Amino acid sequence: MKKKQLFMIIMGIAFLIFPLVVRSDYYLHLVIIIFMWVVIGSSWNLLAGYTGQVSFGHAIFFGVGAYTAGIFVTKLGISAWWGMAFGGIFSMLVGLFVGWVCFRLRGPYFALATLAGGEIIRLIATNWESLTDGMVGILIIQTFKSKLPYYYIAFALALTCIFVIQLIMKSKWGYYFVSIREDEDAAASMGINTTLYKNVSLLVSSFFTGTAGAFYMNYMAFIDPEVVFSLHFISIMAILVGIVGGVATIWGPAVGAFVMVGLQETFRSSFFGLAPSWISQAHSLVFGLLVIFVIMFLANGIVGDWRKIKQYVFRMKPSRL
């Protein structure tokens, strides 16, 4: 266990000094996006991985967070940074409604309901033009020219999110969430208010996802419904980050975010300009293949099956730590 802690500290310091060493805006941007996905993936993981309520609609919370920050600027004329505080809260309010509706359903039916929810809210955001400016989107002016402040804000957000989720999973709530995942009826007969705690999990999850959305608005300075409420780029991506990294592990989504954002960028840039450009069209295909591979050979994700990876890939004997 000592080795693990040392590794964490080294990684932490490495990320702290990374922007001071690597002075490339491009790589800073990539890591900022990765941090944002660490937050979204971890939040999704809390609800789906630990509590067993698989959401196909995390774009709902991401988008509401982003639009909260955006509308603060366009309609209230206050800084989008207020959105960082309130984006999460508005997301929670929406989460409360989503929970009220969707938690009447279990398992795949819940997942389908959240999928529908995501599409509904995307259509609302597209058509409620007086509030959201519809497909025109919201454009604001970035506060900082440099990427450095954004880098550290995203880093702090990712760390806070992982830390809070770790804290929750070590508490009574953690036991409750996992009990609900394993068997909802048994959990109820053990005195666990399953409806309440499913909602608690959803609220924490939606809060962090909403905050990540608000950060996205601040950082990218432009949003429209097709981007922030996207099924493909947000909801599905959140699931991929969780599954590839490792469902129901603390660090899984963090690893998943690195792999997925890295892969996405590698393909988008056609292997950083080295491969013919048509290859950038293939990223969905590769995502699909990756998911098939992970589900078949690493059902618990990279972090969950780390021992297996060590054994087969690095030809190491399983350690007896």
Rule CB under 8 A: which of 178-197 touch another protein?
A: 178-179, 182-183, 185-194
Return the number of the residue (89 or 169) whose C-beta is nearest another protein. 169
Q: Which of 75, 104, 172, 268 binds another protein (CB under 8 A)?
A: 172
The helix/strand/coil state of 198 is: helix
Let me know: does 202 contact 95? Beta carbons within 8 Å: yes
Return the number of the residue (58 or 181) whose C-beta is nearest another protein. 181
Strands of the chain (E only): list them. 138-139, 222-223
Q: Which stretch binds another protein (CB under 8 A): 4-12, 167-175, 262-270, 305-313?
A: 167-175
CA proximity to 63, closest of 230, 229, 239: 229
CB of 251 to another protein, least distance (A): 18
Q: How many CB atoms lie within 10 A of CB 261?
A: 22
Residues 53 and 47: their CA atoms lie apart, in Å, by 6
Q: Which of 35, 37, 67, 176 binds another protein (CB under 8 A)?
A: 176
- Interface with another protein, residue 45, by CB under 8 A: no
The helix/strand/coil state of 93 is: helix
Token couple for 133: 């400016």
- Interface with another protein, residue 112, by CB under 8 A: no
CB of 192 to another protein, least distance (A): 6
306 class by beta-carbon count within 10 Å (0-12 exposed, 13-18 middle, 19+ buried): middle
- Interface with another protein, residue 170, by CB under 8 A: yes
Contact positions vs another protein (CB under 8 A): 170-172, 175-176, 178-179, 182-183, 185-194
